[in-house]
Amino acid sequence: MSLAALQLAVRCRQCSSTLQLMRQTPHRQFHYSPAVLARREKKLPTLSKKQLAAKERKRAKKAPKSIYDSEKMTLSDAVEVLRAVEVASPNATYELVVKTEMGKGSTIPKGRFNLPRETKSQGKDRILVFAEGRQAEEAKKAGADIVGGLELVEGIISGRYQATMFLCSRSLIRPITPRLGRVLGPRGLMPSERRGTVTDDIAGYIRRLKGTSEWKGDKEGTIRQPIAKMHFPVSDVMKNVRYFITVVKRATGNIRDPLADSNKKEASQKPVNAITRVLLSTRQGPSIQISDA
C-alpha cells in the first residue's frame, strides 16, 4: 500500500470515530436556544394599585432629599428677610408661587379669590350671558354686559362680541355647544357645569363675582400670584398668604370644599393635586420656601 493510501485510510477512520462520538453525545443546548430562553423567562407578578402605591412611597423615602429642604423658613421669617432685602423699594411686590403635582386625570387648577387686602385695583370682568326671558332680565339687572340668546353665536365667532367671562342658562347650553365649543374651549371660556358657569341662577352668580379676581395655574400645575406690597404690615402680608393658600388647597382638593358637601359623590371622585412647594419671593430678593404653609 502506498503512503498516500495509508494516510487516507487513517483520516477516514478518525472521521468515522468522531461521527460516532457525536451520535452518542446528547444534543447540547446553547444559551440562545429557544428551550433555554423559555426556562430563563420569569413571569413578573401583577401588582395591585395599593401595592404600586406602597412601592412608590418606599422609592420616595429612599430618594435623595432636595438641597432646598434645609433652606425652608417659616412665613413670618421669610417676610422679614424679604423686607430687609427690599428696604429701598417700598412699592415692591411679594409674589407667591404654589407648585402642585399634576397627576393623571387632574385638571389645571383655577379659581377666584378676594384677598383681605388687595395689592392693586381689580380689573372689571366683561360678562356675556346666554339667557332668555326672565333670566335675561335678571342678568341685565345684576350687571351683565351682553345678554342674549342664540343670535349672539355669530357675533362671538366673528369677534364682534368680546368678553372675559361667558355664562349660560341650562336650557341654552346644548344649542350653543356645537358651534362655540371649538371657539371658546381652547381659550378656557366655554360655559360648563363643572366650573359653575352653566346655571339657572345667573344673577346670583354675577353678584358673587363682584369684587373677586381669577387665578389659574400653568400646564405644569404651578400657580404664581402677586400677594402683597412691601409697605403692607407683616400681619396683612401673612393674612393674604394664608388666605390664598387656603383657596388653592380647596380648589386642588387638599382640603374639603364646604360648597361640595351637598354632592359628596363628585367630591370623592375629584383627583387631588398635591401641593409640593410654596415659595415667597420679591423682585430683588431670593425665593424662599415656606415650611408652615
User: What band does 267 get if pLDDT is binned at 50, 70 and 90?
Assistant: very low
Let me know if residue 179 belongs to a domain: yes
In this structure, the answer to whether residues 113 and 149 fall within a common structural domain is no
In this structure, the answer to whether residues 218 and 91 fall within a common structural domain is yes
In this structure, the answer to whether residues 224 and 157 fall within a common structural domain is no
- Summarised one tens digit per residue, pLDDT across range 105-154 is 777 888 888 899 888 766 677 899 999 999 999 999 988 999 999 999 99
CATH number of the domain that 91 lies in?
Answer: 3.30.190.20
Compute the distance between CA of residue 261 and CA of residue 238 in angstroms, rounded to an integer.
28
- Residue 76 belongs to domain spanning: 70-119+211-254+269-288
So what's the pLDDT on residue 264? 47
User: What band does 263 get if pLDDT is binned at 50, 70 and 90?
Assistant: very low
Let me know if residue 232 belongs to a domain: yes
Let me know if residue 80 belongs to a domain: yes
Please state, in angstroms and as integers, the Cα–Cα distance from residue 159 to each residue in 115, 155, 191, following that order.
Answer: 33, 6, 17
In this structure, the answer to whether residues 143 and 279 fall within a common structural domain is no
So what's the pLDDT on residue 279? 94
Let me know if residue 23 belongs to a domain: no
- Summarised one tens digit per residue, pLDDT across range 15-60 is 666 556 555 555 554 455 565 555 555 566 777 878 888 888 888 7
Could you tell me which of 22, 89, 106, 72 has the C-alpha nearest to residue 292? Answer: 72
In this structure, the answer to whether residues 135 and 168 fall within a common structural domain is yes
Average of per-residue pLDDT across 66-87: 83
Compute the distance between CA of residue 122 and CA of residue 116 in angstroms, rounded to an integer.
13
| pLDDT averaged over every residue in the chain | 81
Please state, in angstroms and as integers, the Cα–Cα distance from residue 65 to each residue in 86, 113, 193, 237, following that order.
Answer: 31, 34, 41, 30
Compute the distance between CA of residue 58 and CA of residue 74 in angstroms, rounded to an integer.
28
In this structure, the answer to whether residues 133 and 172 fall within a common structural domain is yes
In this structure, the answer to whether residues 87 and 194 fall within a common structural domain is no
Domain count, the chain: 2
CATH number of the domain that 168 lies in?
Answer: 3.40.50.790
So what's the pLDDT on residue 43? 63
Residue 212 pLDDT exceeds 60:
yes
More confident residue, 224 or 107: 224
